[in-house]
Structure 1
């Protein structure tokens, strides 16, 4: 279980995350929503230790991860995989190699430098790509893929870490509705089949309601809502976004698409495959 106690992050005079305290049970899929600047990304970066808390603690499974250093910190960042809005792939490398980079924290420095991946790791990478319906692009340069395809490669790379926790920072913010649905389907599938805790920042309310078991709303660095999708009332939305509910049109960025259209399929945007990934 995750435990956040008095978690605070300041940047000079600005408080990005302000005295946040809550728990997340293992295996839960949580959506974090709020306006830009509410502290959502800073919260995820502190969980993964890309940013250090100014005060307060983060614990996982009884271990205080907010104070880890050296090898222990590297092991935590292996166990706590992160998916970014801008994918963070190496554009000139092929898709398969980008996915294999997810194994770096499992390997020695020498083999990492020499880029020596085992046959088993390559099989595992292909299986991850097959699961995400993108194995046909394994030898293609990552930079030539569409945004939706690149995000699926990033998810496959995260799976190669064999994580206990998966963080996704606005994973669909730069995607069209079809690809947003494919990516969110993939995250939910990972959560349900592997039992991996998924925490994702989202900017669309209907997506949070459709995919997340629990929604946390942030405003000005504080948690102002913590409940189920059914509890996310118009009053709660107004408190989170600081605006009248009538001014928020959820359909503008809806991901509620029932099936891919013919043009998207022709462009190679195949949906998630229901395959089991051995070893993850």
Structure 2
């Protein structure tokens, strides 16, 4: 189903954080959103998930006007539109398996949720999600004992448990080292490729957006100023998105590089691997 933002605006007092954004995304695209801090990227994702409401405009998913949902219908949308945060949003004192199982809460009755009763099938699903992310050995560890990269993979496994129709990732690799950044981005691309789920991710690194995303949206001052494929992201487009430095020079792309070693993929942004089974190999091979 097509997803659309129609003239979406968000104001905070006199400040316009997102300004009349119009975007149409077909099912199954992997979209990277780039721009300076304060460009409106996170605000846009939070409106899509309805963590905050738009001041104006409509958010549509197929025939559903997401911007008007309330009550159970809104909770169902937030289940179907999984959100992955930069800060992971895990419960540190709970073990990893329980954190992943929390992704099933919107599929369950209130009584079962309050009693924290999960079925055998749900536990099998959770272990399978952890195995897919290559961290099944951490299932009984407290989430707070894991590294940042491992915690982000737990957050992705929890999102998979929601059985989502769309995945939103708000700067999922901003606090990670290059090796873990690659593992997390490989995981998001695998979800997009294997399930055909639309993935929209905010990124602060141009090389990552070029490598992993088939479509890039650039934002500046709350507006969309670029919308195209990685090959169309020219130096002129980058300057329109990021502007110039204090001396009037254009941005140096190496300033935004994560130094992710993606080999030949860097020269072929449209290429998608069949899956992320070689995650462990990728970790071992990445310098």
Give the equivalent residue in structure 1 for 2:30: 29
Give the equivalent residue in structure 2 for 1:40: 41
Asked whether the 8 Å contact 1:207–1:254 carries over to 2, the reply is: no
Give the equivalent residue in structure 2 for 1:177: 178
Give the equivalent residue in structure 1 for 2:215: 214
Unaligned runs of 5+ in 2: 264-274, 280-287
Match status 1:103 vs 2:104: yes
Match status 1:254 vs 2:259: yes
Give the equivalent residue in structure 1 for 2:113: 112
Give the equivalent residue in structure 2 for 1:273: 277
What's the CA shift string for 1:43-85, capped at 9, x where partnerless? 0000000010000000001210011000000000000000000
Match status 1:227 vs 2:228: yes
CA distance in 2 between counterparts of 1:192 and 1:172 reads: 19
Give the equivalent residue in structure 1 for 2:266: none
Asked whether the 8 Å contact 2:34–2:206 carries over to 1, the reply is: yes
Give the equivalent residue in structure 1 for 2:199: 198
Give the equivalent residue in structure 2 for 1:261: none
Give the match's secondary structure for 1:183: helix
Post-superposition shift, 1:273?
2.9
Give the match's secondary structure for 2:152: helix
Give the equivalent residue in structure 2 for 1:162: 163
In angstroms, what is the RMSD of aligned CA positions? 1.6
CA distance in 2 between counterparts of 1:32 and 1:201 reads: 5
Give the match's secondary structure for 1:174: coil
Give the equivalent residue in structure 2 for 1:151: 152
Asked whether the 8 Å contact 2:243–2:251 carries over to 1, the reply is: no
Cα distance, 1:125–1:171 mapped onto 2, change above 3 Å: same
Q: How many residues get paired? A: 264
Asked whether the 8 Å contact 2:31–2:216 carries over to 1, the reply is: yes
Asked whether the 8 Å contact 1:90–1:142 carries over to 2, the reply is: yes
Cα distance, 1:137–1:175 mapped onto 2, change above 3 Å: same
Asked whether the 8 Å contact 1:57–1:66 carries over to 2, the reply is: yes
CA distance in 2 between counterparts of 1:109 and 1:160 reads: 17
Give the match's secondary structure for 2:180: helix
Post-superposition shift, 1:255?
2.1
Post-superposition shift, 1:254?
2.6
CA distance in 1 between counterparts of 2:119 and 2:251 reads: 56
Asked whether the 8 Å contact 1:204–1:254 carries over to 2, the reply is: no
Q: Flag as ranges the 4+ runs of structure 1 deviating above 6 A.
A: none
Give the equivalent residue in structure 2 for 1:266: none
Give the match's secondary structure for 1:98: helix
Asked whether the 8 Å contact 2:207–2:257 carries over to 1, the reply is: no
Give the match's secondary structure for 2:217: strand
Asked whether the 8 Å contact 2:238–2:251 carries over to 1, the reply is: no
Post-superposition shift, 1:250?
4.6
What's the CA shift string for 1:76-122, capped at 9, x where partnerless? 00000000000000000000000000000000110000000000000
CA distance in 2 between counterparts of 1:163 and 1:144 reads: 27
